Amino acid sequence: MHTVLHADPVSTSSALSRLGLAEEVLVAAAMQGYLARTDCTANHPPLFPSFVAWGETVRALREQLAPMGWVRSDERNYSRTIHPEGHIAIAVATGNEATGLATESPATKSVKGPSTIDALEVNRHQDWLPGLEPVATTSEEQENQPSTWLLLVHHAGNEVRSELSLPLDVGLDGRISVWRERILLRPIPLEPEVVDVTPPQQPDIEVVVRRKA
């Protein structure tokens, strides 16, 4: 199956404009999630850094899109941000190390639940490809549902990579790995961690000055 890939700045800008979006909004939301993660310490529960990064990305995305008429939806505990015309929605997910790379095909890091699976079914009905035709007639309920795009975010060692992609299906491991379209966003370079250098403690040296005879 051929995935439509937007990797250069011109193609990315055009694809996002078609969806009523700007790259700056998506990149800023991804960065907010990263900053929230960096505030975590070893005393937080192990799952908390990933959870708070996801939550802060969702929050930042919603707050930036709200003035443009986008609305939040948490129906069935599936958090999405929906276009004012109701034809597309954006959810946030953590992607694997292939996220944001044109030469790789990404997948979500976690297995997705029933709400996401239902959203993929809507995507397939609304934007199917040869080999992925709907197995049944599209219901009126599905026709009224938006296509759900995923803002995939991956925190690498030296950068934050992200992309806005339209998912179609999961792999055998239950992770989303089949994509209709991928819009790669510019990576956010991260400054190397500052290491405090403490000079070694030296004993005081007493210098004795004597007058020459």
Report which DSSP code applies to 52: H
C-alpha 197/C-alpha 83 separation (Å) is 50
- Tens of pLDDT, residues 168-185: 999 999 999 999 999 999
State both tokens at 204: 């005081």
Statement: residue 210 has pLDDT above 70: no
State both tokens at 105: 């095909």
C-alpha 162/C-alpha 188 separation (Å) is 9
- Tens of pLDDT, residues 15-40: 999 999 999 999 999 999 999 999 99
User: Smallest Cα–Cα separation from 108: which of 100, 117, 99?
Assistant: 99
pTM higher than the cut 0.75: yes
Specify whether the CB–CB gap between 152 and 97 falls below 8 A: no
Other beta carbons less than 10 A from residue 43's beta carbon: 6
C-alpha 205/C-alpha 184 separation (Å) is 60
With vertex at residue 25, the alpha carbon angle to CA 22 and CA 30, rounded to the nearest 5 degrees, is 130
- pLDDT at position 137 is 44
C-alpha 83/C-alpha 90 separation (Å) is 8
C-alpha 68/C-alpha 21 separation (Å) is 10
192 pLDDT band (50/70/90 cuts)?
low
Residue 105 vs residues 130, 131, 177: alpha-carbon distances, Å: 19, 19, 7
Among 52-66, 121-135, 145-159, which is the least confidently predicted range?
121-135
